Structure 1
Amino acid sequence: MDKQQLAFVFPGQGSQKVGMLAELGAEYPIVKACFEEASEALGYDMWSMVQNGEQEQLNLTENTQPILLTASVAVWRLWCQRGGMTPGVMAGHSLGEFSALVCAGALSFSDAVRLVRARGQAMQTAVPVGVGAMAAVLGLEDQQILSICESISGDEVVEAVNFNSPGQVVIAGHAGAVEKAINALKEAGAKRAMLLPVSAPFHTSLMKPAGEKLEEALETIPVSSPSIPVIHNVHAQTESDAEAIKALLVKQIYSPVKWVDCVEAMIARGVETGVECGPGKVLSGLNKRIHKPLNCLNIDCPDSLAATLAAIAGE
């Protein structure tokens, strides 16, 4: 396989669960070493929280973000240690974009761990718990959803925030406006429109205060040009300029995640195989719906690591 045919993708919030990567950690010391490095940066035992903590604790966004970043970086380092092929391009869903930038050498790991914890805290405090909400909408065209959200938004806002796959869009905003939108979307023929167990309306304009805090945090953090191109959520393009990357990371907090466009951009570059680097298979499922011929693999346990190494070496 030519490396241009290979993409690595990094999961975002929702892929975390207690006990994740336990088998990889038991078999490969590099995984736990990565968690130790992150724990040192944040001042608490992250591996212990992941293996023995409560799911509620893992779901707090200020914990979820550094934990998922660390899990993805650990899997990437293991992949490199095992002689896995370097991909031609990378992308990450929301938080996963930070994981991609670390693995592409644009951000240092310890800086990124601290940065995403600050990002999580800023996102959580931007809108008080209970004021905002998010909901998944299945079975409607993007344009219908955008129109309905626009018609409901006034003093309270509701916006389409994650374009995850054809027929699967996430909306978010003020809880009351989201509730109204759910009812209107069902009336318009949505197969499902259901609230998500999320504590803040991510990727909406309500997150602008969090963007300002992230911008401040980024001022002191060095960013360099990635050694592997990273496709960004905001505009589904790659970027090599460090200041432009910082600006995109800030904008991403209060802008929609254009995941469909990101995957289509990979396909346009000649990607035929996508590897989900980190816990779960959420992105593999989305990617297959976006582009059926895409060969979707994942790495989150020894068996899937071996299978992915063999599949890519064999092509």
Structure 2
Amino acid sequence: MRLAFIYVGQGSQHVGMGMDLYEQYPEFRRFYDTDAAGFNIKEMIENGPEEELNQTRKTQPCMVAFCSGITALLEQEGIHPEMVAGLSLGEYSALTAAGVFDADTAIALTAFRGKVMETAVGDLPCAMAAIMNLDRDALKQVCNEASSLGIVEIANYNCPGQMVIAGEKAAVEKASELALAAGARRCIPLHLPGPFHSSLMHPAGDALAEYFKKITFGEMKVPVIFNVSAKPLQPNESIPALMERQVQSSTYFEDSIRYMEQAGIDTLVEIGPGKVLAGFVRKTTKNLKTYSVEDVESLRATIEALKGAAQ
């Protein structure tokens, strides 16, 4: 068995996530009890309200705390990945798992990242939409045509048949209309507070570049497959530069999964609420075994399965 961990991004969070883990595992509690986010993570996750947890500046550090806690529980059982990757925000959990950040640094960093992402476009009307069952070239053409009304770009290449576009509201709405005409099965508006992973987020990228100068980046214990390249770190690249690009550039999760498969990974553990990434993996390849960990039951089942497979 060759194992990788994959980490979910923003959107799957919910009030109560991880509270059963908090109650049962002392090792998990320290990730919720930290003050690194500048607010009480445990209180926010346990009691919400949902609309406050869904604020990007709150969501991001809460998700990193949750994912880091689960990673610690898996590693406590001797389950260690050969590679890691994460979708969007999940890349920060992946970097933490790889040893680039300690959890408190990642939690503080993503609290800052959430704030600058929320404010990057000011009052400019923006939108994001998931486009179902259209190929890449057709969607690029659609975005080019709709760009007469403003910026609209492909933000996420999630899996075959699912991409996300982001940009100025009128241009995104026009691109959605054109995508349906070009054969897309559905176009689903996404309720996020900014055009994430588009060039409109460059103020957030600039702010992160300055923030990165203040923190230490550790050596990676295992390769991270980065969103913007769908590859491990290359000799001419730096992690800060890739993460500055990530917030304002397309993410290539589908390509990252294909890279890991080609590199010999055969088993993936999705860490985070829900099973969204496992769904993306199944639509990308039939050759990878996937497990999803989000609570005590799924943690125990995954540990038992992985230890059984390793024997």
What interval of TM-score do these two structures reach, taking the shorter chain for normalisation? over 0.9
Shift of 1:267: 0.1
Q: Is the 8 A contact 2:149 2:171 kept in 1?
A: no
**Alpha-carbon separation, structure 2, partners of 1:246 and 1:215:** 7
**Equivalent residue pairs, number:** 309
In structure 2, relative to structure 1, the CA distance for the partners of 1:187 and 1:248 (3 Å cut) is same
Q: Which amino acid aligns with 1:64?
A: T
**Alpha-carbon separation, structure 1, partners of 2:56 and 2:114:** 5
SS in structure 2 at match of 1:251: helix
Structure 2 length-normalised TM: 0.96
In structure 2, relative to structure 1, the CA distance for the partners of 1:115 and 1:240 (3 Å cut) is farther
Shift of 1:198: 0.9
Structure 1 length-normalised TM: 0.95
In structure 2, relative to structure 1, the CA distance for the partners of 1:105 and 1:309 (3 Å cut) is same
Q: Is the 8 A contact 2:64 2:92 kept in 1?
A: yes
**Alpha-carbon separation, structure 1, partners of 2:5 and 2:285:** 15
Do residues 162 (structure 1) and 156 (structure 2) align? yes
**Alpha-carbon separation, structure 2, partners of 1:242 and 1:68:** 31
State the match for 2:221 in structure 1: 227
CA offsets, 1:11-39, max 9 Å, x none? 100110011112111111222221112xx
Do residues 137 (structure 1) and 131 (structure 2) align? yes
Do residues 64 (structure 1) and 89 (structure 2) align? no
Shift of 1:139: 0.9
Q: Is the 8 A contact 2:153 2:167 kept in 1?
A: yes
Shift of 1:240: 7.0
In structure 2, relative to structure 1, the CA distance for the partners of 1:24 and 1:123 (3 Å cut) is same
**Alpha-carbon separation, structure 2, partners of 1:241 and 1:96:** 23
State the match for 1:274 in structure 2: 268
Q: Is the 8 A contact 1:203 1:252 kept in 2?
A: yes
- List runs of 5+ in structure 1 lacking aligned partners: none
What is the aligned-residue RMSD (CA, Å)? 1.4
**Consecutive aligned runs of 4 or more in structure 1 exceeding 3 Å deviation:** 240-243
Shift of 1:243: 6.9
SS in structure 1 at match of 2:148: coil
Q: Is the 8 A contact 1:129 1:200 kept in 2?
A: no
State the match for 2:25 in structure 1: 28
Shift of 1:241: 6.8
Counting aligned pairs with the same residue, the percent is 40
CA offsets, 1:55-101, max 9 Å, x none? 111111111110111100010011112x1321110000011111111
Of 108, 115, 119 in structure 2, the residue corresponding to residue 121 of structure 1 is 115
SS in structure 2 at match of 1:41: coil
Of 107, 111, 116 in structure 1, the residue corresponding to residue 105 of structure 2 is 111
State the match for 1:89 in structure 2: 83
State the match for 1:9 in structure 2: 6
Q: How does 1:71-86 map to 2 (within 5 A)?
A: 71-81=66-76, 83-86=77-80
Higher mean C-alpha deviation, range 236-245 or range 15-24 = 236-245
SS in structure 1 at match of 2:221: coil
SS in structure 1 at match of 2:17: coil
